[in-house]
Structures are given as C-alpha cells and as structure tokens.
Structure 1
C-alpha cells in the first residue's frame, strides 16, 4: 500500500463513489490499494469534512482495535456524518483485537447474548477474561449477560472494568446507568449516563434519560 498525501485526498472520491453504488468490497479494495491505516487515521482527525467521513468509514471496515482512540475522538467531531460513521465503525473495532481465535470468541459472546443464552455467555466470557483480562469486549459482553439475568451489581462491575480497559466504550457507561437505575440509585445512574454522553454525544436515548433524571432530582431537592 502506498501512503497517499493528505493534500490530495483520493478518499473523498472513493467515499462519494461508495455513496452512489454502496459497493463495500470495491470501496475496501480501492482504499487498501492507496492508503495505510496510519494515513486514514490522520485524515479522520485532520482532513476536511468529506475526507473525515470517508476515512471514518474506511477505518470501520479495514481497521482494528488499534484505531479505537481515533474513532473514539471522532465521536466528538463537529460533523454529524463523521460522528455517525465513527459510532458504527468503533463498535466493529471492539471485536477486532488479538488473534483470529480471540476474535471468533468475542463474536461468539455477542451471538450468545443476541440469542438470549446469557448463562452460557457468562461462562465463556469468564474463561476468556481469565485467560486474556485485557479484552474489554469480553468484560462488556459478560456485563450485558449479567444485566439481563438481573444481576445488576455484577453487571456494573463488568462495565466498570470494560471502561478501565477501553475508556471510549460509551456503551459500557450507558450499561452502568441502566443497572444503577434498576438498583434505584438515580444519582449514580445520572453520572454514568453523563459519562456515556461525554464519550458519545449522539446517544439521543441516553440524553433523554439525563434530562429526565436531572429534572426529577432537582424537583426532589426543591
């Protein structure tokens, strides 16, 4: 791959073509021919608006967990399109860490939660975090499973550990808020939701919860 100059962002042409034909394989192939991940990361942060959008999309398709901080910062971009692409992309990057076996294990945890096999998810995630405690998404998936088993304190601990490893994990922060709400701790829930919004201001449902909790707590003080 050649490292294209940031002054001539071919990524804009490739992104605009993608918007027309929605041909993901072609977009990935052409981007990979012309750009390194490092150049895409720089464009995602310092390029003009369309270059940032195209680079955020490309990183979500081509990048791995090492690009997590770049897309994490892109969640705060001034352009809504960049923010939306960054959120979609970063969720994918959280599973792209370690070797192929590790990645398959993380994908399996997600599938177990999606199919409501929460106990099996907890068991497999526990083995995974014991072997590889640096896998933030393994902690997060176990936290999700605990939440749906109404084991809220365990879920909070796992979400907290997720954020210790991956400070851009807005979903874990929001998950903590949900668990605190179920435990009746609205102050802690509000702080968790605020943390999620600081990481990802585009979470409209979380913003609504913050507004509701702020109003409720203020009325109680009055």
Structure 2
C-alpha cells in the first residue's frame, strides 16, 4: 500500500502568507490593513553563499539567495492583522486551526483550513531554512535523492526544532528505500507537532511497510482524528481494520 508520489514543493514566502490571510478573513469581523509589497527573493545564486550559511550540509547547493522576511500575516485567531508574522505565534495559530479542522462538517469546509495549516508548517521564520527545504523538495522531485538528503541533513542541523524539516526528510528517506530512518524522522516530527496529520499518516504507511499493521492502523485513526478528510488514512483504516481486527472475529 505504501507509495510515495512527488513531493509537494515547499513554498518560499517572499510576501504575506496569502492563504492564511484569506482563511482568517472569513472569521474576523474587521478587515486588517492591506498587505505590504515586499520585494521578495531575487537573483537566486548559490555561488556567493558562504559555507557557514549552510551549516554542516552539502558543499554546493544551487539556487540560494537571501531574501526579505515574510510580510504581513494574520494575527492570532481572534485578532486583526499584525505588522509581520511572528514564528513564536505559530503553535497558537496551529492549535486553533487544528480544532477547527476536527470540527469541519465537510471536505469543502476543511479545505481552506488545511491550506492554512500547511502554509504555516512551511513557515519556519528563517529564510535559509525555508529555501533549503524548497530546494530539497525540488531535488527529490528531480530524482536526486542523495542531494536532497544532504540538504535536509543540513536543515535539521540548522533547525532541529522544525517539525516540517524532519517530516520532509522522512519522505525523502522513504524515496531512498530507508523506511527505518523515515520512521525515526517521523517520530521526531511528531514529538514537535503531535497533530501533524500528514506525518501521522506517513507513520502509518511506513509501519505498514515494516509489517507493524496494528500500529499502522492506530496511526491512521489518529490522523483521521486530527483531519477527518484524509483519503490515504481512510484507505488505510478500511484495508487494515478488516485485515487486523477481522482476524479476531
């Protein structure tokens, strides 16, 4: 059942978190000030990048340039738009979004919530980390798995508290045929964000590949408890509930 499609490119935010802003506008009574027009990331060129800027990772990673910090984002769930996104507020924003997602009445209602959550996942607050993760995704999609892993090794050294970095490295480890390493990375990601529903789903996929079907079934159900509209997790529950629990009937 385990299958890994192309990784979704990790966005590089040069301006305000658009999806997040649009989502919260649905719940705010008053509109915040218009977003600023940040210049963004320009002149991408790795050649001038200092080795120290990449930590202990690969010697050459093409395509880097420093850029502006993310622009104006939404404030906490009940407020107006603050002057800039503060990464320290991300756990609070995510918790509110996770609560709304669990209460969504349909996949249509859930869609903008998941878009906002996944946009927040990708916003580490560090231009270096965000762009390196985007490049690692590109390398994986181009089948350069070894280079992708080398970049992600650097990212988890630079940002060991970034759940999305561990999650992305887990996915690339699956592509590299290293499910045990993927399992370790997924658990690191979930230690940092226990409601990262894509990490929980992929945990189920890896456990299933390794033959731990009861544990995989539990993971799929945990993922659906956070996000009831995950097709992969639901398919896992449908298949394994018959195979695992049906044995006891």
Contact 2:121 2:164 in 1 (8 A): yes
CA distance change for structure 1 residues 85 and 157 in 2, over 3 Å: closer, same or farther?
Answer: same
Q: TM-score, normalised by structure 2?
A: 0.64
* Corresponding residue number in structure 2 for 1:205: 232
- Distance in 2 between residues matched to 1:111 and 1:75, nearest whole Å: 29
- The verdict on how the C-alpha distance between 1:113 and 1:75 changes in structure 2, with shifts beyond 3 A counting, is farther
**Structure 1, residues 84-124: CA drift from partner, whole Å, max 9, x if none?**
11112211211111222221112222222332322212111
The partner residue of 2:159 within 132, 142, 147 is 132
- Aligned to 1:113, which of 136, 140, 163? 140
Indicate if the aligned counterparts of 1:121 and 1:145 stay in contact, CA closer than 8 A. Answer: yes
- Matching of residue 159 in structure 1 with residue 189 in structure 2: no
d(CA) in 2 for partners of 1:36, 1:137: 19
Structure-2 separation of matches of 1:133 and 1:169 = 16
Asked whether the equivalents of residues 74 and 82 of structure 1 are also in contact (C-alpha less than 8 Å), the reply is no
The CA RMSD over aligned residues, in Å, is 2.9
Say if 1:64 and 1:93, in contact at 8 Å, map to a contact too.
no
How does 1:171-182 map onto structure 2 within 5 Å? 171-182=198-209
Give the length in aligned residue pairs: 182
- How far apart are the structure 2 equivalents of 1:7 and 1:221? 47
Contact (CA 8 Å) 1:113, 1:141: kept in 2 or not? Answer: no
| TM-score when normalising by structure 1 | 0.71
Residue 75 (1) aligns with residue 67 (2): no
Which deviates more from structure 2 when the two are superposed, residues 153-162 or residues 96-105?
96-105
Alignment partner of 1:42: what SS? coil
**Of 109, 114, 129, which aligns to 1:87?**
114
Q: What 5-or-longer segments of structure 1 have no aligned partner? A: 1-5, 12-27, 44-54
After TM superposition, give the deviation of residue 8 of structure 1 in Å: 7.7
Quick check: 1:37 aligned with 2:37?
Answer: no
> In 2 relative to 1, CA 77–219 (structure 1 residues): closer, same or farther, beyond 3 Å?
closer
Structure 2 residues without counterparts, runs of 5 or longer: 1-25, 37-71
Distance 1:174 1:196 in 2: 6
With a CA cutoff of 8 Å and minimum separation of 6, indicate the structure with the bigger relative contact order.
2
> Is the 1:128–1:138 Cα contact (8 Å) retained in structure 2?
yes
Say if 2:129 and 2:158, in contact at 8 Å, map to a contact too: no
Deviations 1:160-195 (A, max 9, x none): 111111222111111111111111211111111111
Does residue 9 in structure 1 map to residue 45 in structure 2? no
Q: What CA distance in whole angstroms lies between the structure 1 residues aligned with 2:143 and 2:112?
A: 28
Q: As a proportion of its length, which structure holds more helix? A: 1
SS at match of 1:157: helix
Cα 1:36–1:127 change in 2 (3 A) is closer
SS at match of 1:76: helix
